[in-house]
Amino acid sequence: MIYLEGSGKEFAGPPLSLEQLDTDPLRQFFSWYQEAQRIEAGDPTAVALATSSREGRVRSRMVLLKAIDERSFLFFTNYGSRKGRDLSENPQAAFSCFWPALMRQVCARGIVEKTSLEESAAYFESRPVLSRLSAWASPQSEPIPAERAFLENRLRQMQERFGSSNIPLPPHWGGYRLIPEEVEFWQGRSSRLHDRFHYVRVPGNGWRVERLAP
């Protein structure tokens, strides 16, 4: 066995108390995200998204959260991708994000549903031209020839087909909203005595918040 060594950095962050938290975890997430946006060197929207097939085979990958509303977190992808196929079989998912400069982590779990066609189209139109063309060009998660030229040729074909304007929304591409049933906020503290607060949805009665042992 080879033991792995981290940075050895002490998680000496500021205290987090119940009184500091918003009563709604989505608003609390947005508040923390705004701080991360100012401070973090990396992309603060990056999260590790975990999905599972009908048989319980779990996969995870990094995705970017693209929006948050009063009830959900939104991300977009190819519906035929591995995560899309998982979500068609088992419409539940979880994600976690870590903001090291703030020594903060957020974990969420909930039900996933597709966004409306109008929401998907509105976001798709906001993407850069090459990103929109790539959504048409890439058969995401499918085996393809080893040479990268395959993808580059596919992109050229899409450029010839659509040009650089009026690129339509692909029928296989769109958004998902993760509607959380539980959300945890983790604040790193010294001596590994971290502050953890866990929101659990109470049907018809908002959220219950409890402190968890680190």
- Catalytic site residues? 192
* Residue 122 DSSP code: H
154 is in an annotated binding site: no
Task: Round to whole Å and give the CA distance between 32 and 105.
Answer: 10
141 is in an annotated binding site: yes
* Amino acid sitting at position 75: F
Task: Round to whole Å and give the CA distance between 85 and 53.
Answer: 8
63 is in an annotated binding site: yes
66 is in an annotated binding site: yes
Question: Exposed/middle/buried for 7, CB within 10 Å: 0-12, 13-18, 19+?
Answer: exposed
Tell me the residue length of the chain: 214
105 is in an annotated binding site: yes
140 is in an annotated binding site: yes
The DSSP bridge pattern shows strands 46-52 and 92-99 to be: antiparallel
186 is in an annotated binding site: yes
Q: Tokens 């509105």 identify what position? A: 122
62 is in an annotated binding site: yes
Task: Round to whole Å and give the CA distance between 78 and 21.
Answer: 35
114 is in an annotated binding site: no
Binding-site positions for FMN: 61-66, 76-77, 82-83, 105, 140-141, 186, 196
Binding-site positions: 61-66, 76-77, 82-83, 105, 140-141, 186, 196
